Amino acid sequence: MKVAIDVDLCQGHGRCYEIAPEVFTDDDRGRGELLMVEIPADLQEKVRQAANTCPERAITLSE
């Protein structure tokens, strides 16, 4: 699985890095930023949950 963040949509609610801090962090404006793009199997469920709870739907997943 791969993950991406649309920086134009992200408003910095922080749910992604609260749910999956191994994959997401915040930038200097408080908006989501990726620590990795290729997601290992053991973190995929957390990343799905982060994507599903993003209010702006700024996180996209692909196989």
Structural domains in the chain, CATH included, are 2-62 (3.30.70.20)
pLDDT tens string 6-20:
999 999 999 999 999
CB 7 within 8 A of CB 31: yes
3-class secondary-structure state, position 6: coil
- What pLDDT does 17 receive? 95
| pTM of the complete model beyond 0.75 | yes
Average pLDDT of span 36-50: 98
Looking at the chain, list the stretches that DSSP marks H as alpha helix, in order from N- to C-terminal side: 15-19, 44-53
Average pLDDT of span 1-30: 96
- What pLDDT does 22 receive? 98
- What pLDDT does 58 receive? 98
**CA 46 to centroid of chain Cα atoms:** 9
- Alpha carbon separation from 19 to 50, 62, 63 (Å, rounded): 6, 19, 21
In whole numbers, what is the pLDDT of the chain averaged over residues? 97
Residue 36 structure tokens: 């990795």
